[in-house]
Chains A and B, each alone.
Chain A
Amino acid sequence: MRIAFCVQNDKGVDSTIDSRFGRSPGFLVYDTDDESTTYFTNAQNLSAPQGAGIQSAQTIAAQNVQAVVAHNCGPKAYQVLLQAGIEVYMSQDTIVKEAVQKFKNGELEKAASSNVPGHW
């Protein structure tokens, strides 16, 4: 299973999770099968005049992931992820490996909707 995280930097499982979804500097995809990580930059979205969340969701959807772990997710990004069939999990952890552990233990709650309004 491939899980995407919104991250501030690329330090593998020690990467810092960013609290923003649309404008996090990058995404880290963690593969539970071989415990590998892959980093994708989100630089093209940082200066987007609007709709950063929509484009981030599209970028993530293109990486063949099955789940996203984020601090927050807005309504438009959530809608795109939903159509892509990607499950959204909310976590307030700051390091990827902490969230991965909780995910594996089944401690993370699946979001049934966005948790913040647009332009949060």
Chain B
Amino acid sequence: MRIAIASGKGGTGKTTVTVSLSLAIQELTKKPVTILDCDVEEPNAHIFLSLPKKQLETATIQSCSFDTETCTGCGRCSDACRFNAIAVVKKKPIFFSDMCHGCGGCILACPENAITGTQREIGTVISGDVQENPSIDLHYGLLNVGEIMAPPLIESVLAKEHTDSITIIDSPPGTSCPMVQAVRTSDYVILVTEPTAFGLNDLKIAVETVRLLQIPFSVIINREGIGDDRVHRFCQQENIEILTEIPQSRNVAILYSKGQTAWKKEQDFTKAVQKAGTLLVERFHL
């Protein structure tokens, strides 16, 4: 079972929910839980769950290398590259590796077989068992600074899933390629939102995305008590289940600022997460 925690808006509490819900589900089921932090541009689940022993693995994507002896400078590689990563001037190719998406189109287009596939490092996948609960293992991707190719690194993090475990995915915010990559193979999606105008606006976009992906989903409203009731009204109109509501709390924010989860430390918070965990465990026979 693969559950993705996503949101439209950033900062609504995806990681807060991922961490606490994983702890809740592990406690309720006594089964191993795997957290995959796919927000590779700024992973943060490891701030709230410590990994005493970390394993590091380099993630790469396909890139290309040009044999300038064989190359005739015909320019077909440049025509084929839809990412504009290759220019051919004075019959010589110039390759911008940071623009390359690793599709291999240029390799196919070259009539002289002058281009070969190589590997380019884009980031690191970091893995370990969680100190606070050794039945939980956490894996997260760390994209190299300046690198734009998040989706292949997300794929490397997703590959860390193991079949005997319940998987919880911390998705990147937004609804663009990285979010879709993290969410598309999930069995279920939880959209975390907050009852504000921004929360509602981005929730609508996220709902549209998840519906296009045809994945069943529900909503968790975080910081309930601020803003207004428009998120509730939207969910009612659209017939979207609100799995739980986590009340606004200064103490939760203080714990968060110290890199600590409010799970089992703040009663109302814990109760709200427990409710969501219980519903999921019962519904999906976790």
Contacts and interface: CB of A to CB of B under 8 A. Distances in A.
Interface of A: 48-52, 54-55, 57-58, 61, 76, 79-80, 83-85
Residue picked from B84, B88, B96, most chain A C-beta under 10 Å: B84
Count class of interface residues, chain B? 10 to 19
Interface in B44-90: 78, 82-85, 87-90
A84 to B, nearest CB: 4
A80 B99 contact: no
B94 interface: yes
B92 interface: yes
Contacts of A84: 89-90
- Provide the main secondary structure of the chain A interface: helix
B94 A80 contact: yes
Contacts of A79: 94
B87 A48 contact: no
Given A58-B87, A58-B88, A80-B87, A51 B78 contact: no
Contacts, number: 41
B178 to A, nearest CB: 15
Interface of B: 78, 82-85, 87-90, 92, 94, 96, 99
5 contacts: A49-B83, A54-B84, A54-B87, A54-B96, A83-B90
Contacts of B83: 49-51
A52 B90 contact: no
A83 B78 CA distance: 15
B84 A51 contact: yes
Contacts of B90: 61, 83-85
A80 B96 CA distance: 10
A7 B9 CA distance: 39
Given A50-B99, A54-B85, A55-B84, 4 more contacts: A48-B84, A50-B84, A51-B85, A52-B84
A29 B151 CA distance: 41
Contacts of B85: 51, 54
A83 B99 contact: no
B66 to A, nearest CB: 13
